[in-house]
Amino acid sequence: MGVLGEALRFLTDPERYGGPTGIDARVVEHVLISYQAVAVAAVIALPVGLFIGHRRRFEVVAVTVGNLGRAVPSFGVLGILFGPTLGWPGHIGYWATFIALVLLSVPPILINTYVGIKGVDASVVEAARGMGMTSRHVLQRVEVPLAAPIVVSGLRIAAVQSIATATLWGIPGGGGVGRIIVDGFALRAEDLLLAGAMLIALLAIATEVLFSVAERVTSPRAARRAGPRRRLLDRSARRSRR
């Protein structure tokens, strides 16, 4: 068993729990920073994504943000933000990590919301408009319910990414499960390294499961045939002249 056994012993040691540096404290602050960042990112990205998808304007913005978002290295962003946020209140490195996480979470939420709304069956939207639904009605009663699973999937991706990347918070001597790992590197304590890794894996899987359930719950009944297609920039929806 070796290292694995040591890691398990670490995790089950009651002395390690409680207090500001206990395992439980680390897990809690890790989950908090991740989910809070996703929440903030959602507040920013959801309305923008809804607008772009519904109005079909400024689509370039969504695509560019999506592209850039994938390219930006989180640790790099952390490094850039580290200095400016040094004096800010709270745990060291908290704000730098938090902002980095928000920046990381915006692209998947934005892109998925945009694609989801845009991908709703055009006939359904046209019929709804033709019957005399206001623009808002169409968004609320047709587009959002039908796009919900894809939007939630975007939130899922953001959340899992966030949980994973929040480990970086440990590097500037901050908190979260990442701190356990970084301590492990510093102290050359392999049990800490492994324990930290296992904790993160668990948190990531739990998040994945949580959101997958949410995805299924928000999937409207019998709607799968007319649901949005999972392809970005479906150019087949061009305006046709007859």
Residues from 43 through 82 that contact other proteins (CB under 8 A): 63, 66-68, 70-82
Tell which positions 108-137 bind other proteins, by CB under 8 A. 108, 111-112, 115, 121, 123-134, 137
Nearest residue (CB) to other proteins, 46 versus 124:
124
Residue pointed to by tokens 């590197």: 185
| Min separation Cβ 122 and other proteins, Å | 8
Tell which positions 16-45 bind other proteins, by CB under 8 A. none
| Min separation Cβ 177 and other proteins, Å | 8
Tell which positions 148-207 bind other proteins, by CB under 8 A. 150, 153-154, 157, 160, 163-168, 170-172, 178, 181-182, 184-185, 190, 193-194, 196-197, 200-201, 204-205
Q: What three-state secondary structure class fits 191?
A: helix
| Whether the Cβ atoms of residue 180 and residue 23 lie closer than 8 Å to each other | yes
Cα angle 49, 52, 56; round to 5: 150
Burial class (CB in 10 A: 0-12, 13-18, 19+), 22: middle
Interface residue with other proteins among 107, 117, 175, 211 (CB under 8 A) is 107
Nearest residue (CB) to other proteins, 21 versus 134:
134
- CA 210 distance to own-chain centroid: 13
Q: What three-state secondary structure class fits 79?
A: helix
| Min separation Cβ 71 and other proteins, Å | 4
Nearest residue (CB) to other proteins, 56 versus 230:
230
Interface residue with other proteins among 23, 41, 42, 142 (CB under 8 A) is 142
Alpha-carbon distances of 129 from 40, 76, 135, 143, 186, rounded to whole Å: 32, 46, 7, 12, 62
| Min separation Cβ 50 and other proteins, Å | 16
| Min separation Cβ 17 and other proteins, Å | 20
DSSP for 82-122, written as a single string: HTTTTTSSSSTTHHHHHHHHHHHHHHHHHHHHHHHHHTS-H
